[in-house]
Amino acid sequence: MALFVLRRLMLTGLMLFGLVLITFVVSNVAPSDPAALAAGPDATRDMVETIRKEYGLDRPLPEQFVHYVGGLLTGDLGRSIVTTRSVMEDLGRYFPATLELVLLSMTFGVLVGVPLGMLSAVLKNRAPDHATRFVAVSLVALPAFWFGILLQLLFSVQLEWLPTSGRLDIATPPPPFVTGMLLVDSVLAGQWATFADALRHAVLPALVLSFPCLASILRVNRAEMIEVMAADYVTAARAHGISRLRVVCVLALRNAMLPTLAIIGLRWGWMLGSTVLVETVFDWPGIGLYAVSSAIAGDFKPVMGVTLLIGVNFMIINLIVDLLYGVLDPRLRATS
Amino acid sequence: MQGPIIGRRGAIAAGLGAAGAFAAGSPARAFERDGNRKIFVFAGGQPVPVLDPHVRYDWSTRLIQQSVYDALAKYVNDPPQIVPWLAERWESNPAQTVWTFHLVRNAKFHNGDPVDAEAVRYSFERGLRLNKGVAWMLKDVLAPEAIKAVDAHTVQFTLTRAMPSFITYVPLWFIVNPKQVQANVANNDYGEGWLTRNEAGSGPFKVRRFEPQSVIQLDAVADYWKGWPQGDQRRLSGFIYRIVREPAARRAMLQRGEVDMITEVPADDFELLKNARGIKPEDHKGFTTFAITMNTTKGPTADLNVRKAIAHAMDYDALIQIHNGAATLLDSPFPDAIPGHVAVPGIPRRNLEKAREFLAKSAHPNGGFELEYVHVQGLEDPRRIGLALLNSLQPLNIKVNIVAQPWPTMVARGSKAETAPDMVSVYVTPVCTDPDVIAGKYHTRAHGQFWGMHHLTDAQIDGWVDAARVETDEAKRNALYADVQKRVVDLQPEIFGMLANRRWLMRDYLRGFQYCPLRLTGEFDLYPMWVDAA
């Protein structure tokens, strides 16, 4: 097991370096002059040079890369040329909002996707199965940007049930900062009105973000459940008089969950990436919005920071999934 | 940090309370209340990453800076006027090289310190030494050492050369409290790190909450040294700027009553909402010129006759239609609110016969070439203008390839003549009433900047612009600028487009909105505004 973990960790480190290299190269080959953009449209050439020098953009690219990697080792992701703050500080400010959104979406996706997948499998080729499959395909196909605006128009403008954007109403006092996740912090502070307001603001963006994930989980879970339900040991269990509910909900589901777990791992990274669109539509002040604002301004250190953060998250979650696989299936450990 | 311990009953009660609050829905009113006073809520699409008044300015940043800081003078009204503010009067020597400002005696910073000559001197010195943001306006004529606090209420600027337009830049230099800034200096940064998120101003509002990506909240200064034009009873309690990037979301928020006022409203949305119940529009002639610049150094557009042909083939009516009539065609390269503007006779309008005549004189008499038109990705109006251009040039057998690029990419391409696109859509907002800021677009110095993507080089224009900069006789100066405008039209480095109207939509209880074209796009003056509702 220790060797298995070590190999995975080494591979993760290698992938991380590759990610740093790619993000650095892509950011720097883009035809853009961040110093000129930060200096503003009226700036003279020497003003642009002042900024270029201040941010080390006057140095050769290999030197900038070495400096950047050296900074990474000490937790320094550089400084945003637009906000003038350290990228690490900015990420610390914005990441909790994104994490809150992704956790909510993922929870919703799992809690709804898994039971629907089971239901669909149990009622295979019957009306509920067709209906859930139709819904699943539709949810995957819906562009988040368009769907988000549509939900805003329906639930915020027409029905006036939910707020249009943001994390809290202006008049709502934010809870003291503990985790940065308003739902958690408001519970810790006992600010229930704030909790309710934060939840109302989170509903629409969380739904939009969760739908593709929900659909994937539903489809994978359905397929696996159908396969498992046809297995001999399930038939044997039924023949031994174990109730249908217990067979489906315990025996079959447990075995069908392995591929679902993999999908959850993959979708985690995908969701973090998708926050770029969802956070823009709903003005959710997370890392997605931070990345978009920075990219528009040609401010690449934050874009690289966000990319790395998402990459690291993705790798960590997949590492955990790999390790869980190893725990759940001893054959994998043996072959590794 | 430890949260309170919640019992089981408490948790159930709290949960029910939260559910009730959830079900209660959003507040229907727009403005927030603070006792009997109101808090004005505004939504725009642009963040305010930096508060420091000497480091950055754009419309949203200046909206906050203008509210939090004061300057020696201020731009107000339409047409724009410069009125005394921290300075009660000023004078210059006949050569316009020495400018003396006499300060009001009662101005004070938010922490109670007096606004004195030393604060003014320090602020200008700081702006120049940082060499960012506003520095370009004065750095060529003013050395930090040449600013003198003559006494506590008099400050003097000695310029290296005559600068008749000096006063037009002064309203854009905000005064910071040197004591607060110096107390927060780190690594000789002139307090830049601290002023990014904090303020040290004397303006009518002070910062309460600063979340650059989402919300900025200001509190009115109850005893503002200049008083309140709407009267103390009616003045606002505060102001909230909500950053809402999507125009559709901003529109929804205004309709729903989540905000009192919005800006950056698409033309179709504006038409839809301007007569809606409870909503009123502010629709004013703009100051931002739109032009399609043409690369004068390479490709077919290097040929003056091709540029003239294109300019005469352009469907100018389409520019107005795209803005639903809320735009005015340019009759000069200068917007008409700029002093020295002259309507240039013969500025091109659609005339296909003339267009064909010019094309016939060019190296491409039958057309048969393709031109790239680049506009900023995500902007709808320039894209539609590109389509109008495409249609306009078809009769000349000229194809147009419309390309949307991110702003940084477009600017980087345009900075060099070799890579600058054939045609680019460019909006330019003059920051002050000095004609030099717009005449300078056509000077060789503009090469490399986004408005200089035409890369025009003309010795006559350079000479006139340089001469006008230092000319203290207003009549002679205006004559030079008239020459510049005519020559620019002759050389046609651009298709001279239009001035799109500046527009805001607001709830009908908002009062005190004062338009001044000198403000940048969505910017407005918060100081005279109030909410007239029970």
- CATH label of the domain that carries residue A119: 1.10.3720.10
Q: Which two tokens stand for residue A108?
A: 């919703």
> Do B128 and B146 meet the contact criterion of CB atoms below 8 Å apart?
no
Q: Which two tokens stand for residue A219?
A: 């489809």
pLDDT of residue B23: 41
Runs of H (alpha helix) within A162-252: 182-189, 192-229, 232-239, 244-246
Best of B29, B140, B213 to mutate (most A CBs within 10 Å, chain A): B213
Query: Residue B352 domain-assigned?
Result: yes
Torsion angle defined by CA atoms of residues A151, A157, A160 and A161, in that order, rounded to the nearest 10 degrees: 10
* Residues B115, B70: Cα–Cα separation, whole Å: 10
pLDDT of residue B5: 36
pLDDT of residue B21: 42
The number of domains in chain A is 2
Q: Which two tokens stand for residue B171?
A: 């309203």
Res. B213 pLDDT band, cuts 50 70 90: confident
Put simply, the answer to whether A166 touches B57 (Cβ < 8 Å) is: no
Query: Residue A243 domain-assigned?
Result: yes
Best of B9, B26, B189 to mutate (most A CBs within 10 Å, chain A): B26
Strands (E), B105-213: 147-151, 154-158, 205-211
Same domain, A327 and A262: yes
**Amino acid identity, residue B166?**
F
* Residues A207, B384: Cα–Cα separation, whole Å: 34
Best of A82, A94, A192 to mutate (most B CBs within 10 Å, chain B): A192
CA distances from B236 to B36, B37, B67, B200 (A): 10, 6, 12, 21
ipTM value, please give it: 0.75
Express each pLDDT in B304-363 by its tens digit.
999 999 999 999 999 999 988 999 999 999 999 899 999 999 999 999 999 999 999 999
Touching A: B residues 314-353, CB under 8 Å = none
Compute the residue count for chain B.
Answer: 534
> Residue B87 is inside which H or E element, if any?
strand B87-92
Query: Residue A278 domain-assigned?
Result: yes
pLDDT of residue A243: 83
Query: Residue B269 domain-assigned?
Result: yes
Nearest-neighbour CA in chain A from B161: distance (Å):
19
Asked if residue A181 has pLDDT above 90, the reply is yes
Query: Residue A110 domain-assigned?
Result: yes
Put simply, the answer to whether A41 touches B451 (Cβ < 8 Å) is: yes
Put simply, the answer to whether B15 touches A162 (Cβ < 8 Å) is: no
Express each pLDDT in B464-479 by its tens digit.
999 999 998 999 999 9
Q: How many CA atoms lie within 13 A of A336 on its CB side?
A: 18
Asked if residue A302 has pLDDT above 80, the reply is yes
* Residues B325, B317: Cα–Cα separation, whole Å: 9
Best of B246, B261, B288 to mutate (most A CBs within 10 Å, chain A): B246
Q: Which two tokens stand for residue B112?
A: 């109670």
Query: Residue A24 domain-assigned?
Result: no
Choose the closest CB to B26 out of A94, A163, A282: A163
Same domain, A124 and A55: no
Query: For the ranges A20-24, B111-115, B157-161, which has the lowest average pLDDT?
Result: A20-24
Q: Which two tokens stand for residue B389?
A: 């251009």
Same domain, A64 and A134: no
Same domain, A40 and A137: no
Which CATH number does the domain housing residue B234 bear? Answer: 3.40.190.10
The boundaries of the domain holding residue B40 are: 29-69+203-284+503-533
Same domain, B77 and B62: no
Same domain, A324 and A252: yes
Touching A: B residues 440-499, CB under 8 Å = 448-451
The single residue listed with the structure tokens 């057998």 is B397
> Residue A279 is inside which H or E element, if any?
helix A253-282
Segment B233-251 mean pLDDT: 91
* Residues A136, B52: Cα–Cα separation, whole Å: 50
* Residues B48, B213: Cα–Cα separation, whole Å: 7
Query: Residue B415 domain-assigned?
Result: yes
Q: What one-character-per-residue DSSP string does A24-93 give?
A: HHHHHHSS--HHHHHH-TT--HHHHHHHHHHTTTTS-HHHHHHHHHHHHHTT---B-TTT-SBHHHHHHH
Domain endpoint, select from A22, A46, A76: A76
Asked if residue B256 has pLDDT above 90, the reply is no
Express each pLDDT in A62-110 by its tens digit.
999 999 999 988 889 999 988 888 999 999 989 999 999 999 999 999 9
Same domain, B167 and B304: no
Same domain, A94 and A236: yes
Query: Residue B280 domain-assigned?
Result: yes
Same domain, A241 and A318: yes
Same domain, B328 and B455: yes
Put simply, the answer to whether A164 touches B258 (Cβ < 8 Å) is: yes
Nearest-neighbour CA in chain A from B496: distance (Å):
20
pLDDT of residue B156: 98
**Amino acid identity, residue B446?**
A
Domain endpoint, select from B112, B144, B178: B178
What pairs with residue B87 in β-bridges?
B103
Best of A283, A284, A299, A306 to mutate (most B CBs within 10 Å, chain B): A283
* Residues B44, B241: Cα–Cα separation, whole Å: 7
Which CATH number does the domain housing residue B372 bear? Answer: 3.10.105.10
The boundaries of the domain holding residue A54 are: 35-76
pLDDT of residue B249: 84
Phi-psi region of A149 (alpha: psi -120 to 50; beta: other; left: phi over 0): alpha
Same domain, A138 and A42: no
pLDDT of residue B363: 94
Domain endpoint, select from A76, A99, A128: A76
> Do B348 and B496 meet the contact criterion of CB atoms below 8 Å apart?
yes
Choose the closest CB to B136 out of A42, A289, A293: A42
Query: For the ranges A24-28, B354-358, B456-460, B487-491, which has the lowest average pLDDT?
Result: A24-28
Query: Residue B7 domain-assigned?
Result: no
* Residues B433, A113: Cα–Cα separation, whole Å: 62
Choose the closest CB to B243 out of A85, A176, A283: A283
Same domain, A110 and A60: no
Same domain, B43 and B135: no
Asked if residue B531 has pLDDT above 60, the reply is yes
Segment A150-154 mean pLDDT: 87
Q: Which two tokens stand for residue A78?
A: 């550089």
Put simply, the answer to whether A160 touches B213 (Cβ < 8 Å) is: no
> Residue A136 is inside which H or E element, if any?
helix A127-141
Express each pLDDT in B155-194 by its tens digit.
999 999 999 899 999 999 999 999 999 999 998 899 999 9
Put simply, the answer to whether A149 touches B32 (Cβ < 8 Å) is: no
Express each pLDDT in B45-92 by its tens digit.
999 989 999 999 999 999 999 999 999 999 999 989 999 999 999 999
Most confident stretch, A192-196, A247-251, A292-296: A192-196
Put simply, the answer to whether B252 touches A170 (Cβ < 8 Å) is: no
In chain A, residues with a C-beta closer than 8 Å to the C-beta of B32 are 170-171
Closest CA to B396 of B429, B427, B362, B373: B362
What pairs with residue B99 in β-bridges?
B92, B157
Asked if residue B267 has pLDDT above 70, the reply is yes
What pairs with residue B38 in β-bridges?
B33
Segment A119-146 mean pLDDT: 84
Same domain, B209 and B121: no
Asked if residue B222 has pLDDT above 60, the reply is yes
Domain endpoint, select from A76, A99, A130: A76
* Residues B529, B513: Cα–Cα separation, whole Å: 6
Query: Residue A209 domain-assigned?
Result: yes
Closest CA to B372 of B399, B407, B393, B409: B399
Question: Angle, to 10 degrees, between the axis of helix A87-122 and the axis of helix A300-328?
Answer: 40
Burial A38-76 (b: 16+ CB within 10 A, else e): bbbebbbeebbbbbbebbebeeeeeebbeebeebbeeee
The dihedral through the CA atoms of B424, B425, B431, B435 has a sign that is positive
Same domain, B260 and B352: no
The number of domains in chain B is 3
Phi-psi region of B171 (alpha: psi -120 to 50; beta: other; left: phi over 0): alpha
Put simply, the answer to whether A296 touches B406 (Cβ < 8 Å) is: yes
Touching A: B residues 252-281, CB under 8 Å = 252-253, 255-256, 258
Put simply, the answer to whether B408 touches A30 (Cβ < 8 Å) is: yes
Res. B6 pLDDT band, cuts 50 70 90: very low
Chains A, B: CB contacts within 8 A come to: 173
Q: Which two tokens stand for residue B422?
A: 């054939």
Put simply, the answer to whether B408 touches A37 (Cβ < 8 Å) is: yes
In chain B, residues with a C-beta closer than 8 Å to the C-beta of A296 are 406-408
Segment B221-227 mean pLDDT: 96
Q: How many CA atoms lie within 13 A of B307 on its CB side?
A: 26
Same domain, B299 and B359: yes
Q: What is the pTM of this model?
A: 0.83
Query: Residue B6 domain-assigned?
Result: no
Instruction: Give the SS3 label for residue A308.
Output: helix
Strands B502-507 and B494-500: unpaired
Put simply, the answer to whether B213 touches A282 (Cβ < 8 Å) is: no
Choose the closest CB to B246 out of A82, A149, A297: A149
Same domain, B463 and B315: yes
* pLDDT over 70 percentage in chain A: 96
Query: Residue A171 domain-assigned?
Result: no
CA angle A6/A9/A12 to nearest 5° reads 150
Express each pLDDT in B133-144 by its tens digit.
999 999 999 999
Strands (E), B344-482: 369-376, 398-405, 423-428
Burial B313-322 (b: 16+ CB within 10 A, else e): bbbbebbbeb
Same domain, B239 and B102: no
Query: Residue B21 domain-assigned?
Result: no
Same domain, B299 and B415: yes
Question: Angle, to 10 degrees, between the axis of helix A300-328 and the axis of helix A2-29?
Answer: 160
pLDDT of residue A332: 63
**Amino acid identity, residue B401?**
N
Nearest-neighbour CA in chain A from B257: distance (Å):
10
Put simply, the answer to whether B408 touches A189 (Cβ < 8 Å) is: no
Query: Residue A185 domain-assigned?
Result: no
Q: From edge to edge, which strands make up the β-sheet containing B494-500?
A: B327-329, B494-500, B289-294, B423-428, B369-376, B398-405
Query: Residue A186 domain-assigned?
Result: no
Same domain, B371 and B308: yes
Which CATH number does the domain housing residue B133 bear? Answer: 3.90.76.10
* Residues A282, A286: Cα–Cα separation, whole Å: 11
pLDDT of residue A336: 52
Q: Which two tokens stand for residue B176?
A: 């910071």
Best of A83, A85, A164, A296 to mutate (most B CBs within 10 Å, chain B): A164
Put simply, the answer to whether B408 touches A190 (Cβ < 8 Å) is: no
Same domain, A58 and A99: no
Touching A: B residues 139-198, CB under 8 Å = 139, 192-193, 196
Put simply, the answer to whether A199 touches B18 (Cβ < 8 Å) is: yes
* pLDDT over 70 percentage in chain B: 94
pLDDT of residue B29: 56
Is cis: bond before A205, omega within 30 of 0?
A: no
Q: Work out the mean pLDDT of chain B and round it to a whole number.
A: 91
Strands B289-294 and B494-500: antiparallel
Asked if residue B2 has pLDDT above 60, the reply is no
Touching A: B residues 18-37, CB under 8 Å = 18-22, 25-28, 32
Choose the closest CB to B17 out of A34, A192, A295: A192
Query: Residue B60 domain-assigned?
Result: yes
Same domain, B251 and B384: no
Res. A319 pLDDT band, cuts 50 70 90: confident
List Cβ neighbours of B231 (8 Å cut-off, separation of 6 or more).
Answer: none
The dihedral through the CA atoms of B478, B481, B482, B483 has a sign that is positive
